[in-house]
Each structure stands twice: as C-alpha cells, then as structure tokens.
Amino acid sequence: MTARTFPPGFLWGAATAAYQIEGAADEDGRAPSIWDTYSHTPGRTLNGDTGDVAADHYHRWAEDLGHLTELGLGGYRFSISWPRVFPGGKRNTAGVDFYSRLVDGLLERGIRPVATLYHWDLPQELEDAGGWPVRDTALRFQDYAADIVGALGDRVDTWTTFNEPWCSAYLGYGSGVHAPGRTEPAAALAAVHHLNLAHGLAGRVVRELAPRARLSVTLNLHVIRPASDSAADADAVRRIDALANRAFLGPLLDGAYPADLLADTAPVSDWSFVRDGDERTAAVPLDVLGVNYYSTTLVRTWDGVSPRSDADGHGRSAHSPWIGAGDVDFLPQPGPHTAMGWNIDPSGMTELLLRLRDEYPHLPLMITENGAAFADEVAPDGAVHDDRRVDYLRRHVDAVGAAIDQGADVRGYFVWSLLDNFEWAWGYDRRFGIIRVDYDTQVRTWKDSAHWYRELVAGNALPD
C-alpha cells in the first residue's frame, strides 16, 4: 500500500455514546430512558445485559480523558444523556455539571468536544406519552436542546442533533430490535418525520444559543447495491435508498421528502403528520454532515418463490424495518465479516463519500463512526493483538483518503469506539473498542489498534 497522508488540520478522534459507556443509571437524579426499560425486559438483549454499569465512565471520565490525550486525538465525540440532564422536562444540575466538567476537561487538553444531543436514549416518560411517533416529542426535544445548549454553549465545538435517526425510527418502532421495541409500521414513518422535525427545531436553537459552534447531524447512510443488473433489482435499490437515505437527506438537506418515498409507503401511511412548513424547518443549514459507515447492503426484488435471506445486518425480527418494501430481499454478502456479521468492504466508504460529494458538493463531511467488532483475545502478557481490527481500520482510513483525493471534502475521522461498551441488543458480547474494558475490574487496556491509531494520528498519515 502506498503511503497515505491527510490534509493539514484533519481531525482525528474517537467516539462513544452515553448509554453505552456511562453506567450510573440511577445516580444524581438521572431518570430512566427507553434503553433502561428495554434492556431490563427479559429476552430483549443478549444475556440480559443492561447499561446499568457499562464502562463506568460516569465515574472514570477523567481517566478516560487521559487516554484521549495519550492517543493524541484532536476531537472526542460523545453523547449527552437527555434523561440525565433534563428529566421530567426540568434541568438536573448534577447531570449538567457532569458534562460541563467533561467539556472543560477536553478543552484543557486541547481536544475539540463533538457532542451529540440524542444517541437513542429517549426519556421513558416521553415514550409513555407516545414517543417519537408523536409530534410533541419533537417539541420536548427542542426544550431539552435549549437548556443544555444554553448551559454548554460554544464551549462545544460541534453540536450534533441526532445519531442515526434511521435506527431510532425503524429499529425502535418498525422491527422492534431496538428500544422501545415497538413493531408498528405507520408509527415508524411518523417517527422518521418527528426526528427530522426535531433536528430542525434543535438546530435553530444551536444557531441562536451557540453561534460560534458548528451544527451537524450524523446519518448511517446505506451503500446499496443490486444483486443483478435487472430493472427489478434497480428498483429494489431505489426503494431502499428512499427509506434508508433520502427519507433523511431529502428533508434535512433539500427541504422535501422524495415523492417516490411517499408513493412507495402510501399503503402504510398518508404522511398527514407532515404539516405545512415542517420540511423547511427540518432543512436548517448544516456546517458538517456526520457519516457513519461500517459495511454495504445487497438487495434484489424478491420473486415470491425462492427462499428469502433478509440479511440486512440489522438484527432478526418477524417484523421488517423496511416499511412498505416487503418484496425487497437483502442478500448475504461475501466475507470476510466482523463479529457483527457485517461484510468488510472499504470500497463502500469511498463510494458513499463520492456520492455525497456529487449530490451535496458544498457540504463538508466528517466520518463520525467507523470500526469493527471482533472476538478479541487477551494474550498471556495481557496484550490484545487485534490484527483484524487494525487491518479493518487501515483499509477504511485508506478508503477515506481515496475519496479525499477525488474531491470529497472530508474534515475528520472518528473511530468507533474509544472503549469496549454496551453494544445495544448485543450487550457486552460485541467489542468495538480500541481500548479493552475488563468488565469485572473496569481496567482499561490498550489493544494493538490503539497503539496503531496513535501512530496514525501523530503522523497524520497511515503508518507503514
């Protein structure tokens, strides 16, 4: 592989999310979120794992900041727990103080804080009132945003409204493999819209209260390929692209839902929850678009006869997250695969970034997540020789560089994840960290990938 360098000022970072690392689930006035309820419901998560303790970051945050410094990172992407800082629609000072200390700690170390307002942990009381399918939840999100952005302001470098609203809507309310575990197709589409609306409402709050901060949203855009060059398979790609990608890109960046999405889903919903002006509200101008990339998607139009695969990589359920696309099948893809069963294909990273370059040429991009779970083994000397993770990261970072060479305006890269953590329905079984967490002792150990990443960051170039 040829030596690959990155533009001066390229932002290298690591990412985490509140429920996945913090623990301290009922400390200092935190209220339950939908993930507390879901993970405590028997059968919902692997081994019944919950985020009650997680990586105990709430108590070990100072140590964890030390790891960021030693890695030499320029940015840290974390999320703020809504039920910790704004339970019952009122400020919880102890919760806000936690993030205030974290942000100040980052600034003292010269690390740019990249804060996500919502990484899936809706306060349970708002789910009880209807959750994201209900419009009022978007207004409650605006209230929460006003309070926390008012408190932290532009000490935060980049405010990200949502992480992967696709997952919140379709996995939370469609297939039910994520909290709150509902399987209501029409409600999932209403959730899509209220998440988009909430993004616009909160985005305007950020603009007003933190005028020097940058505004972003993070999407898990799908790289969708057809199983054949038939017209039917091309149409499968179009339909999944509408649900997965353009349901968000449309309102957020172009100010309108795509007509084919509304037509495809008409048997399920008339979208009457979209009110005049909502799409304009959703399209608040962004400074940077966050891109999460892990693998690719392969689809065909099902012939109604042959066995289906439904291998979309998003967890097994009797209910599809692909609302109104029951005749689209998702095919397994050639390996190698990660421990999530996701195929490893760095070319998809380049492809995605070039699509965004073409469609939104003036919008800066940031890789806000990329990484891999593998069944790590601890060597007798305590080291973790995670060669496959190093290889995964090396090839994907190289793919980002290839896109930059071809004109994609990518400003940074955040590895998922700083630490092993609670991988949602997969609990603690799937480890994504470049730093290992021993969940019995909470001891952190750098894996080989952390050492490799430090070298990459120090040189702003792929190590040999």
Give the residues lining the site for ligand FCB (CB under 6 A): 17, 20, 163-164, 167, 220, 292, 369, 416, 423-424, 432
- Is 369 catalytic? The answer is yes
Which residue's CB is nearer to ligand FCB, number 196 or number 301? Answer: 196
Helix, strand, coil content of the chain in percent (nearest 5): 45, 15, 40
Which residue's CB is nearer to ligand FCB, number 72 or number 427? Answer: 427
Q: Where are the alpha helices (DSSP H) in 153-294?
A: 165-166, 185-209, 231-241, 247-249, 259-264, 278-282
Which residue's CB is nearer to ligand FCB, number 51 or number 250? Answer: 51
What's the rounded Cα separation, in Å, for the pair 28 and 1?
51
Minimum Å gap between C-beta 220 and ligand FCB is 6
Minimum Å gap between C-beta 433 and ligand FCB is 11
Which residue's CB is nearer to ligand FCB, number 16 or number 142? Answer: 16
Phi then psi dihedrals of residue 263, to 5 deg: -70, -45
- Is 184 catalytic? The answer is no
Minimum Å gap between C-beta 330 and ligand FCB is 17
Structure tokens at 96: 């806000």
Between strands 365-369 and 410-416, the pairing is parallel
**Which listed residue (164, 184, 377, 423) is catalytic?**
164
What's the rounded Cα separation, in Å, for the pair 359 and 289?
13
Distance of CA 412 to the CA centre of its chain: 15
Running DSSP on this structure, what letter comes out for residue 337? B
Annotate 128-144 with DSSP letters as a single string: HTT-TTSHHHHHHHHHH
Minimum Å gap between C-beta 119 and ligand FCB is 6
Residue 267: Cβ-neighbour burial (10 angstroms; 0-12, 13-18, 19+): exposed
Q: Coil, strand, or helix at residue 19? A: helix
Between strands 297-301 and 328-330, the pairing is antiparallel
Which residue's CB is nearer to ligand FCB, number 240 or number 262? Answer: 240
**Which listed residue (22, 127, 279, 369) is catalytic?**
369
Give the alpha-carbon dihedral of 52, 437, 180, 48, to 10 degrees: -70
Which residue's CB is nearer to ligand FCB, number 186 or number 198? Answer: 198
Let me know the angle formed at the C-alpha of 60 by 57 and 64, rounded to the nearest 5 degrees.
85
Structure tokens at 457: 């960051």
Which residue's CB is nearer to ligand FCB, number 246 or number 314? Answer: 314
What's the rounded Cα separation, in Å, for the pair 425 and 430?
10
Minimum Å gap between C-beta 338 and ligand FCB is 10
Structure tokens at 3: 């030596």
Active site residues: 164, 369
